Chain A
Amino acid sequence: MKMFEYMGKDIFAEFGLPIPKGRMVTTSDGAALAAEEIGGPVVIKSQVLSGKRGKVGGIKFVDHSEAAKAAAQELFGMTIQDLPVEILLVEEKLQIDKELYLAITIDSATKQPVLIASVHGGMDIEEVADEHIIKKYIDIELGMQNFIACDVVRRMNIPLNSSRGKELVKIMDRLYKLFIQKDAELVEINPLVISGDRVIAADSKITIDDEALYRQQDLPHVEERTKAEKAAHDLGLSFVELDGDIGVMANGAGITMGTLDTLSYYGGRPANFLDAGGGTGVEGTAKALELILSRNPRSIIINIFGGITRCDDVASAFASIKKSRNIPVPVVIRLVGTNQEAGRAILKDVGIEAYDFMQDAIKKAVELAGGN
């Protein structure tokens, strides 16, 4: 779950990480009021989950509260990557001496947290040359010890006895505590601004592990999924909307990807990714079909290689749906594995001849969709 910048900064504050003076607002009057409270020049930032908002004009600097209102009005009228701007963050404008980058994330290869730091902050970290990026893998059994933070500061060429050096050591320690305690996949401060003697988190990016949300009940909830994707998630199905015209359902992430790949190979364009997982009952299968139909596909391919999933269960579920509702597009089913004979007999009764091989079934689905 990705958090909005203002939520991330609330969490930063909770962990004693320095943030600019500021306030979240939902109206342009609120923005003017916040600017007045803060006093002096302010920055007004659109709160959207997609990056690159600065490049599309989603961040504005103004000198006084009158101008803040006008700027806020303009921002509220914007959409950034199809998302309307509904929340703004009004903050003191920082005097920037230097911009650093600091993040902690999970490294799949070494299976542990990694701290990433750079003295070239402010831009996308991908655009920073490798030699300017400092990576420190952290033994999760050790955690963020003082010596680790000190060594990173040394590698950044920042004097350890300077106030900014001491401040950075503290920030690394607190950021790691946040990372661990909030089950984060990513905590990123970019830029981490040096402003005179202060070191301040000018931005925040926090992603929380979805699987750990059950024990992170204190966090605000942010919904990133589309309505259909959320409905699927609640059913234990994994669903991703794509932009083609052939509906896809399979059981298992890998075979679903393999189905999409094969479909594309034969010139078809998938409308969705839908991994129905193991033992999907009538209700689950019905909902899965509803989701697929909601994308208005021109044909549907169901690819089942039954292991734990029993072919007769899938067939019964499909047959009962077919009897109870009109399915306006052709459905091609590939059904092999556990109890396949029983499953095929059930499908035959509702007029569907199941295929043996995924490539044949997928080719047929592409043909029925009008193909290329």
Chain B
Amino acid sequence: MAILVDKTTNVLVQGITGKQGLFHTQQMLAYGTKIIAGTSPGKGGTTIEGIPVFDSVRAACENHKIDASVIFIPAAYAKDAALEALEAGIKVVVVVTEHIPVHDEMILIAYARRLKATVIGPNTFGIVSSGKCKMGIPPNQFFIPGSVGVVARSGTLTYEIVGNLTAQGIGQSTVVGMGGDRVVGLTFVDVLKQFEQDPETKVVVLIGEIGGNSEEEAAEYIKEMTKPVVAYIAGKSAPPGKRMGHAGAIIERGKGTYDGKVKALALAGAKVAELPFEVPGIVKEIIDKESSQQ
């Protein structure tokens, strides 16, 4: 078990022949991801890394059963690619691409919602069900199987925290990157609900940041959860009104502040780490305590 994707997931790579698409296809294959097909308009009928390439998502679906798609298509064309995957009936679509116009994001997410499909991203590192399936760009070596579910808005901060978990021998069930943009397909609550249901996940790590109100909403749900949640919120020292790298990471009109998020999470019973490197220690304490009780 894991959430959203696992070792049986048949994966399509859209934009498989591009520089990024090809490099990450090699990396995903090395991780063990079951990549079944790729698309690249005009290159249908060829193969790359032993993977058959099709002109369109429909063409790939006519020949293979596809469960999920990962998109490596430049920003100006990414909406079209995501809509194409959704229209073909694919239920999990990972949009790695950054710099997509926010109106395009609203359109593709509204469409996904209508089809009851899941969009991970845009502007995400992707998703890893450790040891089973990686869709996206995280470095393979930091992800080992285990019982910690991780959900985050930021990529490298996730690598920092997951890398430190792994260094201490603590593995992960699934690591989900929601994406750094203002409008993304998933919310923390969507992912927390799945972790709560997943038998493999014992502890959840939530990596948030300033801006928006996704963490505050998560806090409301955490109150109902049976599984322990450890949280870290980046941006304590960020000045208001400045975008800190991510389009969504901005304190606007007094909303989305660090203090507001931390207070809500702590009140909901989450253990909040003040600094990123404190997370693995807190997780380890929880795991050790639970195993000593068994």
Q: Is B59 an interface residue (CB 8 A)?
A: no
Residues of chain A lying within 8 A (CB to CB) of residue B254: 126
Residues of chain B lying within 8 A (CB to CB) of residue A215: 76, 101
Complexed CA–CA distance, A258 and B244 (Å) = 11
Complexed CA–CA distance, A126 and B255 (Å) = 11
A358 and B102 contact, CB distance less than 8 A: no
Q: Which of A240, A257, A307 touches B209 (beta carbons < 8 Å)?
A: A257
Residues of chain B lying within 8 A (CB to CB) of residue A252: 154-157, 159, 245
Complexed CA–CA distance, A278 and B248 (Å) = 19
A264 and B236 contact, CB distance less than 8 A: yes
Scan residues 260-301 of chain A and give those whose CB is less than 8 A from a CB of chain B.
260-265, 270, 273, 275
Q: Is A338 an interface residue (CB 8 A)?
A: yes
Residues of chain B lying within 8 A (CB to CB) of residue A111: 105-106, 109-110, 113, 183-185
Chain A binder among B4-12, B32-40, B65-73, B269-277: B269-277
Residues of chain A lying within 8 A (CB to CB) of residue B152: 254
Scan residues 233-260 of chain A and give those whose CB is less than 8 A from a CB of chain B.
238, 240, 242, 250-258, 260
Q: Is B243 an interface residue (CB 8 A)?
A: yes
Tell me the count of chain A residues lying within 8 A, CB to CB, of chain B. Answer: 49
A30: min CB distance to chain B, Å: 32
Complexed CA–CA distance, A139 and B187 (Å) = 18
B180 and A262 contact, CB distance less than 8 A: no
B101 and A183 contact, CB distance less than 8 A: yes
Proximity string of chain B (238-249) to chain A, C-beta cutoff 8 Å, 1 when within and 0 when not: 110011111111
A112 and B106 contact, CB distance less than 8 A: yes
Tell whether A359 pairs with B109 under 8 Å between CB atoms, given A211-B101, A255-B160: no
Tell whether A212 pairs with B110 under 8 Å between CB atoms, given A264-B237, A305-B160, A358-B277: no
Proximity string of chain A (208-242) to chain B, C-beta cutoff 8 Å, 1 when within and 0 when not: 01011011000000000000000000000010101
Q: Is B261 an interface residue (CB 8 A)?
A: no
A359 and B183 contact, CB distance less than 8 A: no
Scan residues 227-259 of chain B and give those whose CB is less than 8 A from a CB of chain A.
232, 234-239, 242-249, 253-254
Complexed CA–CA distance, A183 and B106 (Å) = 11
Q: Residue on A with the closest CB to B23?
A: A308
B74: min CB distance to chain A, Å: 11
Tell whether A308 pairs with B137 under 8 Å between CB atoms, given A253-B249, A255-B157, A270-B237: yes
Q: Is B284 an interface residue (CB 8 A)?
A: no
Q: Is A131 an interface residue (CB 8 A)?
A: no
| 27 contacting pairs across A/B (C-beta < 8 A) | A106-B183, A108-B214, A141-B110, A209-B102, A211-B75, A211-B247, A212-B103, A215-B101, A251-B156, A252-B155, A252-B156, A252-B245, A253-B244, A254-B153, A254-B157, A254-B158, A255-B154, A255-B159, A255-B276, A257-B157, A257-B209, A257-B244, A260-B238, A261-B234, A273-B244, A307-B159, A358-B277
**Which positions in B face A, CB cutoff 8 Å?**
75-76, 99-103, 105-107, 109-111, 113-114, 137-139, 141-142, 152-160, 163, 180, 182-185, 187, 207, 209-210, 212-214, 217, 232, 234-239, 242-249, 253-254, 274-277
**Which positions in A face B, CB cutoff 8 Å?**
106, 108-109, 111-113, 126, 139-141, 180, 183, 185, 209, 211-212, 214-215, 238, 240, 242, 250-258, 260-265, 270, 273, 275, 305-308, 336-338, 357-359
